A and B are shown apart, each in its own frame.
Chain A
Amino acid sequence: MLELRNLSKHFGGVRAVEELSLTIGQGEIFGLIGPNGSGKSTTVNLICGVFPTTSGAVVFEGRDLTDAPSHRVVAAGIGRTFQNIRLFGDLTVWQNLWVAQNSVKERETGWLTRWLGGERRGRDYAEELLKFAGLSDRSGELARNLAFGEQRRLEMARALAARPKLLLLDEPAAGMNAEEIRQLATRIRALREHGMTILLVEHVMELVMGVTDRIAVLNFGQKIAEGEPAEIRQDPAVRTAYLGTADA
Chain B
Amino acid sequence: MDFYYGMAQLIGVHTLLGLSAYVVLLTGQVSMAQAGFFAIGAYLGGMLTVLAGLHIVPAMLLAAVASALVATVVGFPALRVKGLMLVVATLAFGEAVRIFWFNFDYQIAKGNIQVGPLGGEGFKQIRYFPENGWSTADVAIFIWAWVIAAMVALWWMDRSRVGSVLRAVGEDELAAQSVGINLTAVKVSAMGIGGFIAGLGGAIYAHYTTHIEHLNFGVVLATFAIAYPILGGLSSVIGVLLAVIFIQGFLVEVLRFMGDWRNLLFGALIVLAMNVRPDGLFDARATRALKRLLGGRDA
Contact = CB atoms under 8 A, between A and B. Distances in A.
Does B associate with A?
Answer: yes
Interface of A: 48, 50, 69-71, 74-75, 79-80, 82, 86-92, 94-96, 98-104, 140, 142, 158-159, 161-162
B178 A99 contact: no
A88 B168 contact: yes
Given A71-B183, A95-B164, A88 B177 contact: no
Contact of B171 (A50, A91, A104): A91
B174 interface: yes
B175 A87 contact: yes
Interface of B: 161, 164-165, 167-168, 171-172, 174-183, 284, 298-299
B170 to A, nearest CB: 9
A167 to B, nearest CB: 12
B171 A88 contact: yes
B161 A98 contact: yes
Given A102-B161, A162-B179, A90 B299 contact: no
B183 A102 contact: no
Closest 9 CB pairs of A and B: A103-B180, A74-B180, A70-B177, A100-B179, A86-B175, A71-B182, A95-B164, A99-B168, A88-B168
Nearest to B279: A90
Contacts of A71: 177, 180-183
A103 B181 contact: yes
A90 B178 CA distance: 17
A170 to B, nearest CB: 10
Contact of A162 (B161, B165, B174, B180): B180
A45 B153 CA distance: 38
Given A98-B164, A99-B161, A102-B161, A88 B175 contact: yes
Nearest to A85: B175
Most chain A beta-carbon contacts within 10 A, residue among B174, B178, B183, B299: B178
A102 B175 contact: no
A102 B178 contact: no
Contacts of B183: 71
Nearest to B182: A71
5 contacts: A74-B177, A82-B174, A90-B284, A91-B167, A103-B182
A162 B176 CA distance: 12
B180 A50 contact: no
B164 A91 contact: yes
A100 B180 contact: yes
Most chain B beta-carbon contacts within 10 A, residue among A71, A98, A99, A104: A99
Contacts of A90: 167, 171, 284
A142 B174 CA distance: 19
Contacts of A87: 172, 175
Contact of B181 (A82, A95, A102): A102
Given A88-B175, A99-B176, A103-B181, 4 more contacts: A74-B178, A74-B179, A140-B299, A161-B179
A159 B171 contact: no
B156 to A, nearest CB: 14
A81 B168 CA distance: 15
A102 B180 contact: yes
